[in-house]
Amino acid sequence: MIFERTSKTIFCSRNRFRRQSLVSDLTRWYQKYHRDLPWRKTKDPYKIWVSEIMLQQTQVSTVIPYYHRFLEAFPDINSLAAAPVTKVLAQWSGLGYYRRARYLHLGARYITRKCQKFPDSPTEISKIPGIGPYTAGAILSIAFDLPTPIVDGNVQRILSRIFGIKSPLEDKQTQRKFWTIAEALVSRSKRPSLFNQAMMELGATVCLKSNPRCTPCPVSRQCVARIRGWQEQLPVKRDAPPISKLFWIKYIWEKDGKVWLTKNTQRGWWQGLWDLPGIELSSQSEIATHVKRVLKTPGIKSYRALRSYKHSVTRYRIHVTPYHLVTKIKPDLPLPGRWIRVGSISRMPVSSLVAKVMSGLIRSDNKLVNFV
């Protein structure tokens, strides 16, 4: 087992691992093989911050168009701070995990009001709402080339395998060990910016969760997991909580080319976003009964069932059944809202789920089901 007591000591290893070799090998590999990504072409801490927040729990290919669109709308921190949060959410619409956008907006307002410039010290940057240890380390190292450590899921996986760490990721002692090792490694780097990005790149393209690509790995000769055949066993995670199923109906109430949307004021996944009215049921078998009851609403001219969707949020799998209802009069709905033209909904701050449902409406060729 490889371990380190403090960030100042030398690693101990049965394999005589040399941390300086790991740092230099990984940095050289990154300089030669890294992907050409837009946020790697700037040292602007604001733009790096935006990219890091967007990349949390989101794939790179998904982030790239949102990154360009967001910076086009808010090219600097002052424009983001001055914008209303509804406009920020609209630009974020479809990217998911909307709390990230709210904290980004809060953080921009904090910086413009409390700081002379973007903070470049661990103490000051940690005061910004929504910036935790990983994001702080990423911004400080990439934008300012400071030797600050980063530890996220990718880095945990890399360190677990290289150092043969078999204790569960969730243990506080394991987390302290990761940060200690990461700090020791980056402190040995002459280019902290390149080294930390190399760690990110290695986890994203080589040291994968399943079927890691050990052959092209620049540090495979120093990796305990590869030497001992533990690649698929590390990192060690405790059993994840069971997946919960939810059954939702979403109603698209349409009148004269406009759709009724409600504002989500409740705390939760989509707080502050516009939503379609609907209901959560305990099972899929209840859907038909609820729809029949809704179809008795006065003023409905026609209806149709749209394609169902499955939508994942954290440990929940949501089964969504949408219905399109054309009405002559405003329905008596329990939540306040407003009529929005169908063509304008794409510019509203809505969740990716609502965007999916509306996309199904616009693209569907199903005929309306008329009834008296």
Question: Can you give the residue range of the structural domain that contains 329?
Answer: 244-370
User: Phi and psi dihedrals of 156, rounded to 5?
Assistant: -60, -45
**Chosen domain end from 172, 198, 228:** 228
Q: Is the pLDDT of residue 14 over 50?
A: no
Cα angle 80, 152, 103 (rounded to 5 degrees) comes to 25
Total domains in the fold of the chain: 2
Residue 280 domain-assigned (yes or no):
yes
The answer to whether position 7 is within a domain reads no
Same domain, 220 and 248: no
d(CA 128, CA 271): 21
pLDDT at 98: 87
Whether 265 and 203 map to the same domain: the answer is no
Q: Is residue 239 part of a domain?
A: no
Element (H, E) at 205: helix 192-205
Q: Please name which of 247, 258, 315, 275 lies closest in space to residue 93, comparing C-alpha atoms.
A: 275
Tokens coding 121: 């010290």
Report, as an integer, the average pLDDT of 40-65: 95
Answer yes or no: is 166 within a domain. yes
Whether residue 295 sits in one domain with residue 271: yes
pLDDT for residue 16: 39
The reply to whether 237 falls in a domain is no
Residue 362 is predicted with a pLDDT of 65
> What are the Cα distances from residue 321, in Å, to 248, 351, 353?
6, 16, 11
Whether the per-residue pLDDT at 324 is higher than 50: the answer is yes
Last residue of a domain, one of 228, 254, 285: 228
Residue 73 lies in a domain: yes
Lowest mean pLDDT among 13-22, 174-183, 320-329: 13-22
Residues 176, 32 share a domain: yes
User: How confident is the model at residue 240, as a pLDDT?
Assistant: 76
Radius of gyration of the chain (CA): 25
Give yes or no: residues 55 and 120 share one domain.
yes
pTM of the model: 0.76
Q: Confidence class of residue 371 from pLDDT cuts 50, 70 and 90?
A: very low
- Whether residue 2 is contained in a domain is answered as no
Output the pLDDT for position 363: 58
Residues 312 and 340 in one domain: yes
**Mean pLDDT for all residues in the chain:** 87
pLDDT value at residue 364: 54
Residues 204 and 329 in one domain: no
Of 193, 228, 263, the position where a domain reaches its end is 228
Same domain, 274 and 338: yes
pLDDT band at 15 (very low <50, low <70, confident <90, very high): very low
Is residue 12 situated within a structural domain? no
Per-residue pLDDT band for 238 (boundaries 50, 70, 90) equals: confident
Question: Which domain CATH number covers 38?
Answer: 1.10.340.30
What pLDDT, on a 0 to 100 scale, did the predictor assign at position 266?
72
* Domain shared by 114 and 42, yes or no: yes
User: Active-site residues: which are they?
Assistant: 52
Of 5-19, 195-209, 250-264, 317-331, the range with the highest mean pLDDT is 195-209
Please state the three-class secondary structure of 84-99 as a single string. CHHHHHHHHCCCCCCH
Q: Domain check: are 366 and 220 in the same one?
A: no
User: What average pLDDT does the segment 349-358 reach?
Assistant: 84
The enclosing domain of 258 has a CATH number of: 3.90.79.10
pLDDT digits (tens, 9 = 90+) for 84-141: 998 999 999 888 888 899 999 999 999 999 998 999 999 999 999 999 999 999 999 9
Q: Is the pLDDT of residue 218 over 90?
A: yes
Q: Based on the fold, state whether residues 317 and 267 are members of the same structural domain.
A: yes
What is the mean predicted confidence (pLDDT) over 227-235?
Answer: 94
Query: What are the residues facing 310 on neighbouring strands?
Result: 319
Please check whether residues 302 and 350 belong to one and the same domain.
yes
Residues 10-31 have a mean pLDDT of 72
